[in-house]
Amino acid sequence: MERKGSRRENECEEKNSNSESCELDKDYKTSLITLNVGGYLYITQKQTLTKYPDSFLEGIINGRIMCPFDADGHYFIDRDGLLFRHILNFLRNGELLLPEGFRENQLLAQEAEFFQLKVLSEAVKSRWEKEQLASRETTFLEITDSHDRSQGLRIFCNAPEFIAKIKSRIVLVSKSRLDGFPEEFSVSSNIIQFKYFIKSENGTRLVLKEDNTFVCTLETLKFEAIMTALKCGFRLLTSLDCSRGSIVHSDALHFIK
């Protein structure tokens, strides 16, 4: 009798356990929401979509805002499906994180306003204003000799990333201390200053090319800077000192996109 009673108790416990498991599984599934945004399907949790009260998505989930359904029964929102990934990432992370080179700030700001996410809208607009300000500012890089400031080159451009690209390349090569390259140098925000600068003499070497081939003399560095700029979509606005009659002999180059 005791064994039978024990078996029945075990069976009841298993049934209760399975019942609780089913309820938890059911609750988890109902917490998942599938959205069809402009033909793109996104699956996320209910708590993510309702993170910001009074937002468009929170209104849909809680029934305040009517939303149509697609043929499969998913919420359908007629907005930019590709940009919605950034909306969803903002809801998940609580901050604006965009991929490098993102250029659709104006469109994203419109999407943020549609979804009634004021915090996101302000973050996008702030980012956009900073980029606009940066694009108007001309940045420069000066490569010079600490003993003779006349020996050197200044590169001006309205795109900080272009200046940073050339600067990082020169610093990288300098640290490698290749044959013929100055070993002692200092770097500030806009200046690379060598203790003993490379003069335009036979046998002196400078490396800038991405394939690590040698570039000889300061004059060749100017040509390499121009070629790099053209590949990146910039144009040579002017040689800032044309009195010497040639770009090769000028002390500065100015690029603009």
Q: Give pLDDT tens digits for 162-177.
A: 888 888 777 776 666 5
Q: Extract the tokens encoding 13.
A: 């416990």
Q: How confident is the model at residue 194 (pLDDT cuts 50, 70, 90)?
A: low
Kindly calculate the radius of gyration of the chain based on its CA atoms and give it in whole angstroms.
31
CATH of domain 25-134: 3.30.710.10
| Structure tokens, 3 | 């064994």
| Averaged pLDDT, 224-229 | 80
Inform me whether the pLDDT recorded for 99 exceeds 70. yes
Encoded amino acid at 120, one letter:
L
pLDDT at 75 over 60: yes
Sequence ranges of the chain with CATH classification 3.30.710.10: 25-134
Nearest to 85 by CA among 42, 35, 33: 42
Per mean pLDDT, which of 8-22, 86-100, 170-184, 218-232 is the most reliable?
Answer: 86-100
Q: pLDDT at residue 151 above 50? A: yes
pTM score, two decimals? 0.49
Query: What is the per-residue pLDDT for 68?
Result: 96
Which of 3-7, 90-94, 125-129, 187-191 is predicted with the least confidence, judged by mean pLDDT? 3-7
Alpha carbon distance 42, 57 (integer Å): 13
**Distance separating alpha carbons of residues 159 and 250, to the nearest angstrom:** 21
Maximum distance among all Cα pairs of the chain, rounded to whole angstroms:
112
Q: Which of 213, 175, 209 minimizes the C-alpha distance to 194?
A: 175
The pLDDT-based confidence of 160 (bands split at 50, 70, 90) is confident
pLDDT tens figures, 10-66: 555 655 555 555 554 444 445 899 999 999 999 999 999 999 999 999 999 999 999
